[in-house]
Structure 1
Amino acid sequence: MYIIVAKYLIPKGYRGLTVFPFVIIKHRFDSENQTLINHERIHIRQQLELLVLPFFVWYFVEYAVRLLQYRNANLAYKNISFEREAYANEKHVDYLKNRTLFSFLKYV
């Protein structure tokens, strides 16, 4: 995992994003934020499980479905299974040690 600070690559309203093997964050001080980094590490594991490209296809298809379902962009984002898993477990620093394969499926 490589952390890159790039303020202008992060969409407004977000603090970071992950594209294996890179975690791109908006502010340097966030590189010390354990919760944010753990959230992005969970995304790295999800991307590896789905061999990266299928992760992004699934992510955007699910976002589109949720957008139709909720008619609210933020609510659609928060209900993507990958995000639900990451938000639910971002404060558990040992989560990835015990996480089983394809755990995001519990959040679909």
Structure 2
Amino acid sequence: MIRTGTVLGPSDVLRLKGIGAGMAPYPDVFPTTEAFAALRNEADGLKVFPASLLEYRGGLEALNAVLPSDVKTYAVGAVGPRNFAHRQSAGIGGFAL
């Protein structure tokens, strides 16, 4: 499935739908206040941006500890092979490169 980076408005969603992207845009969130606001507005997944700032001192683990278990989380920002394993162990389900 094709996913997208930052979607700035409804016109972006329509354009992506028009090219057959077949995707649901996920909002960028940081910190948990934004995550819960997005979930209240029917988001079913979240892009943690910049994930690199939450990587230290257990931030990713803490975020995932309070989110509902069915929420998909994706790390965005400073993502690469050197930190895939750590972020996955913290509960991140995917990455945007």
Q: Same fold (TM over 0.5)?
A: no
TM-score band (shorter)?
A: under 0.3
- TM-score between both structures, scaled by the size of structure 1: 0.24
The structure carrying a bigger helix percent of its residues is 1
- TM-score between both structures, scaled by the size of structure 2: 0.26
